[in-house]
Homo-oligomer: A and B are copies of this chain.
Amino acid sequence: MTQLEAAKKGIITEQMKKVANDENKDEKYILSKIKEGKIVIPANINHKNLSPKGIGEGLTTKVNVNLGSSKDKEDFEFELKKLEIALKYGTDAVMDLSTGENLDELRKLIIEKSPVPVGTVPIYEAAILAVRKYGFIGKMSKQLLFETIEAHCEDGVDFITVHCGVTLNSIERIKKEGRITNVVSRGGSFLVEWMIYNNKENPLYEYFDELLKIAKKYDVTLSLGDGLRPGCLKDATDRGQIYELITLGELTQIAWDNGVQVMIEGPGHIPIDEIEMNIKLEKSLCHGAPFYVLGPVVTDIAPGYDHITAAIGGAIAAWHGADFLCYVTPAEHLRLPDIEDVKEGLIATKIAAHAGDIGKKIPGAIDKDILMAIARRNLDWKKQIELSLDPEKAKKYRESLLSKDEDACSMCGEFCAIKKVRDYFSSK
């Protein structure tokens, strides 16, 4: 029985109890929101060491870290080191986006070592197998695609990205309207290539019922991918993107009717003034299904700093209702991330999620900020460092240039505003 089927029957599962406890919510609240499809708990029955997380309405905004090898760089130790860093700095989920040679082995290792939900994009592996077997993605058989998907599910993957909304109709919308960057989703481009070559509908759309059967069997949450997301600000919120979203909304209801949990993936590259609208549109068209956004970045001109452009967009998105933020690292648009990039990207995304949670008034979200403010008022440096998102970095900064005055700081030295007026104001 999936979490959604259990919820429909009024059964509170162990996973629901765990989420209710983590989020300081009533178990009945979690159950009712899962029943409505507004909360998901990605929890594959085969992911044995999983500590489940809830994603959706009323819960804290979650963050995801992408891992994964490529043909150019396939190093299991390196990927597991990234996983370790991601867990250390508090990621809520990881996705294995490998496109290397032995990606099935790496996937099994990551699932084994990850207590947080693991996601994958099975079409990457299907495409690689198709190239290996037939020399060309266009020749991928439907059977190969679905067997690969089932293999991921059997391994214990908790959520899979499936680009079911990349249809003949939706790519026609893009072709007619015109775009600068066309298709920038890797999975999306595989499917477009396949559809053009075969002049056939996307098998993930056409055989959605078969996909549902597999997902249901293992309780894998479908993360309906935005294969047609805009690849630059100028392409944002166009007919192709919104047509795909409409399709994803229709598929969401079919999945719910079949007891399968669903999230919706979102862009990408969006001007700052269109983010709120994009979030509200998803919530409306997809009936409140959790929204998983990639960034969004709010400018295209800052490669090397896209963890910052994405933190700006992600914070606004989370505030307006996005439930799950995919991290973006400083290496985005330039190369695969290294360990330091993973850390920087994760912390920037956690800042965005937290700022958003304060904005959407998640109960208790601001508590740690209040404790930090009190520690600052008291010039309690030990506590300030302890409360920091990255205590090591804060400590390193603090220690690198100590003031002569131990309880003040080097910023103001003897002219410390806090000390000067502390006695006058009776502080709360």
Contacts and interface: CB of A to CB of B under 8 A. Distances in A.
A411 B312 CA distance: 23
Interface string A292-310: 0000001111111101110
A393 B304 contact: yes
Interface stretch (A44-52, A187-195, A215-223): A187-195
A169 to B, nearest CB: 15
Contacts of A397: 303-304, 330-331, 334-335
Interface stretch (A24-32, A107-115, A205-213, A231-239): A231-239
Given A351-B309, A368-B301, A426-B175, A180 B377 contact: yes
Contact of A71 (B272, B387, B414, B425): B414
Interface stretch (A146-154, A242-250, A281-289, A400-408): A400-408
Interface stretch (A34-42, A80-88, A353-361): A353-361
Contacts of A73: 401, 410
Given A298-B355, A358-B299, A390-B304, A183 B312 contact: no
B299 A127 contact: no
Given A175-B426, A388-B302, A410-B335, A181 B418 contact: yes
A422 B174 CA distance: 12
A233 B186 contact: no
Interface string A141-174: 0000000000000000000000000000000001
A12 interface: no
Interface of A: 70-73, 99, 124, 127, 137, 174-175, 178-186, 188-190, 192-193, 196, 231-235, 271-273, 298-305, 307-309, 311-312, 315-316, 319, 330-336, 347-348, 351-352, 354-356, 358-361, 366, 368-370, 372-374, 376-377, 384-385, 387-390, 393-394, 396-398, 400-401, 403-404, 409-418, 420-422, 424-428
